[in-house]
Amino acid sequence: MPDQSSTKPSTFFRKVQETVLRQSSYSEVHTTNFFLQRDVLPRNTSIKARQQQIKLDRDTVMVFADDMPLANWAHPCRYLLHDAESGELYRTVDALFPPYMDAKETPRTYIPFHQPIKYADLAYYPVRPRLELRWPIRWGNRYAILFSGDSNNRHTNDLEFLYRTLRGVYGVPAANIYVLNYDGTLNYSGGPQPATTWPGDNTAYQMPVNAAGSKTELNNALDDLKKRLKANDSLLIHTNNHGTTSGSESVLCCYGADYLASDFAAKLAELPKFRCLIVMMEQCFAGGFNQPIINNSPAGYTSVASAAIATQTSIGGAHFDPFARDWIAAMAGADPYGNTLVSDPDTDNNGTVTAAEAYNYADSIHHPHDTPNFSVSSNGARGCHLGISWAWIKFPIYYEVFRQFEPIWERVKPEEFYRRVEAALPELEKLADEYEPEYAALDKMIVRRASAIIRRAGQQRK
């Protein structure tokens, strides 16, 4: 705790700041963000850098050096400890986390004084995705868990992007989506505050936050799914925010106690058998979760996509995390701003973007800092996707019928559009059944006449 009774003139703190920059290398001056706490931290107290305790043996003024400002935590950083009397540097401590992860706990006296690195993001004109419609064959229910513990703005934005994709593009029922974020609200640590509009299209956030991004609430969501998952169901789990390592395994940062990869995998093993599990993880060191999840998943098909291998950090951005943004964009058919994608993720052109195709798209354009990796329980897991099972309509005119919906698509939001289509499907299905005999007879006639033409072509002599 800062010694609130201790006061220092501004010239003292300016001397500390100048000492830091003079003693930094050319590279550090241009790539490291420095923060100063304008308090005296009393001797025999400790600075808490998440699991790491830095004990102070003298009255200290702390400078925090963030050596990878664009990366998610955990990543390399330093605590520069200065003598509170002389202002001289007496100790440097390497660490993986900052002193304050929660904006509500950050004292006003903790301020940046040198920030050569800042997030930058491009401004895109929002382009509406193309209309795609298929005839749904309902096979099993779809569920999703969207999780972020020690959220920053970009992590909450990633969750919102995925929530809008699940609801607006794939029509997953809101009741089947568990949103676990930060303290159980749309809040997050750091700026910009307050959390009012999503940067994708500057509209209000749509996702209802069901509970905090804590280990307890994540376990509660999985316990609830024990009662809901059936044999033909599918589940998407997306984890975001920060990650670290215990030294022997990867760790997911939570709002409160953290989650070890082995414990998370063991919790997944408690689920009943179901069809498909898709996991996408953005946090640092996420790759250490891949194999434990594969080994413990009760799903018939399991895939895990991670932004970074077990020994590396993942990169962040101004408004979104690059890997999560690109994976979700592949599933959505457009980036968060509504722009057309760099390439078509649906590489086999079957009308469905699978977990493997979404990963391949994100990997093809990934930020150089990230180290994406992908694991599957079997080749069949590559075909798991977020939609219900689709098959083409019973008669050819159906595509032309659906084109009559295009004026509605131009007027309403995607989620409202799909609701209206859903309401019209029973009557259209009845219409298809009514005319199926005529089209079946027509198909037979076409096949018979086409076969005769092909046979004659095969009998022709050169």
Domain co-membership, 453 together with 342: no
Relative to beta strand 142-148, strand 33-37 is unpaired
- Tell me whether residue 124 is in a domain: no
Assessment of whether the complete model's pTM goes beyond 0.85: no
Domain co-membership, 253 together with 381: yes
- Pairwise CA distance, residues 179 & 238, whole Å: 10
Domain co-membership, 420 together with 331: no
What tokens were used for 213? 């991004």
Q: Which of 356, 391, 426 is the last residue of a domain?
A: 391
What tokens were used for 21? 């920059």
In Å, the largest CA–CA distance within the chain is 105
Rg (CA), the chain: 27
Domain co-membership, 371 together with 408: no
- Pairwise CA distance, residues 102 & 152, whole Å: 9
Q: Which of 338, 368, 391 is the last residue of a domain?
A: 391
Domain co-membership, 386 together with 412: no
- Pairwise CA distance, residues 459 & 335, whole Å: 54
- Give the rounded distance of the alpha carbon of 355 from its chain centre: 14
Identity of the amino acid at 185: T
What tokens were used for 229? 């998952």
- Tell me whether residue 4 is in a domain: no
Domain count, the chain: 3
- Pairwise CA distance, residues 88 & 84, whole Å: 8
- Pairwise CA distance, residues 287 & 309, whole Å: 4
Q: What is the pLDDT along the chain (462 residues), one digit of tens a residue?
A: 454 445 788 899 999 999 999 999 999 999 999 999 999 999 999 999 998 999 999 999 999 999 999 999 999 999 999 999 999 999 999 999 999 988 888 999 999 999 999 887 766 676 666 666 554 445 688 999 999 999 999 999 999 999 999 999 998 999 999 999 999 999 999 888 888 899 999 999 999 999 999 999 999 999 999 999 998 899 999 999 999 999 899 999 999 999 999 999 999 999 999 999 999 999 999 999 999 999 999 999 999 999 999 999 999 999 999 999 999 999 999 999 999 999 999 999 888 899 999 999 999 999 999 999 999 999 889 999 998 754 444 434 456 676 777 788 788 877 687 778 777 777 877 887 787 788 778 878 988 998 888 888 878 765
Helix (H, G, I), strand (E, B) or coil at 406: helix
Domain co-membership, 79 together with 164: no
Structural domain that includes position 70: 10-114
Domain co-membership, 382 together with 250: yes
Domain co-membership, 22 together with 84: yes
